[in-house]
Amino acid sequence: MKHWDQFLAPYKQAVEELKVKLKGMRKQFEQASSHSPIEFVTGRVKPIASILDKANQKGIPLDKLETEMQDIAGLRMMCQFVDDIKRVVRLLRNRNDFEIVEERDYISHKKVSGYRSYHMVICYPVQTIDGEKKILVEIQIRTLAMNFWATIEHSLNYKYKGQFPEDIQMRLQRAAEAAFRLDEEMSLIRGEIQEAQAFFTKKKEQQDK
């Protein structure tokens, strides 16, 4: 267990640091009184049991985890609109506190399961008492609708271990299509929504003064 604590420590540090940094981007948009493409940010270090399961499934030797398992440290950035995702991706590409190693666009190319999300794998330098350590971190960028679907599907996947009964499989496919249409509908009234949100933010600021 001591070994795992030591192994996971830089991953925990990377997640904590990146949560502050990525949440900070949202704050900056708020301070500039402009629409934030980031709704909220979450982060986690993969539980040891999930690391072992995934290593087993994918045939990754435990001494190769650092280089071959890209999502031990994971961040999620949720956006209101599909177009916000592109904006967030551009913002991340412009940063110079990490390097982008890989990008996977499961929005233009959704997975067979119906999963949609934009994945970015970055190499993030963590400063430790033994010097700099570079850590792979996966950032998943998705809309609230994509996140809703993925969260539900993930819990069902856990229950059925990927072997969904036919009716559940069909419902999940339909739910994925509904989430896609929801994103499309929201994009069409984006201007209207943002105007209303800006109005309420201003009103709240005036009340707080």
Asked if 194 is part of the footprint of ligand 0O2 (rule: CB under 6 A), the reply reads no
The only residue of 64, 93, 154, 202 in contact with ligand 0O2, by rule CB under 6 A:
154
The structure tokens listed for 124 are 């993030």
**SS3 call for 195:** helix
Tell me how far, at minimum, the Cβ of 9 lies from ligand 0O2, in Å: 19
50 part of the interface to ligand 0O2, by CB under 6 A: yes
Of the ranges 81-89, 127-135, 148-156, 177-185, which one interacts with ligand 0O2 (CB under 6 A)?
Answer: 148-156
Q: 91: Cβ–Cβ under 8 A, 6 or more apart, which residues? A: 25, 37
How far apart, in whole angstroms, are the C-alpha atoms of residue 159 and residue 154?
Answer: 9
Which residues are known to be catalytic?
138
C-alpha to C-alpha distances, 90 to 52, 87, 112, nearest whole angstrom: 34, 5, 27
Touching ligand 0O2, residues 87-126 (CB under 6 A)? 104, 111, 113, 115, 119
> Distance (Å, rounded) from C-alpha 106 to C-alpha 122?
17
Place of tokens 């430790």: 128
Closer residue to ligand 0O2 (CB): 35 or 46: 46
- Catalog residues that contact ligand 0O2 under the rule CB under 6 A: 46, 50, 54, 71, 104, 111, 113, 115, 119, 150, 153-154
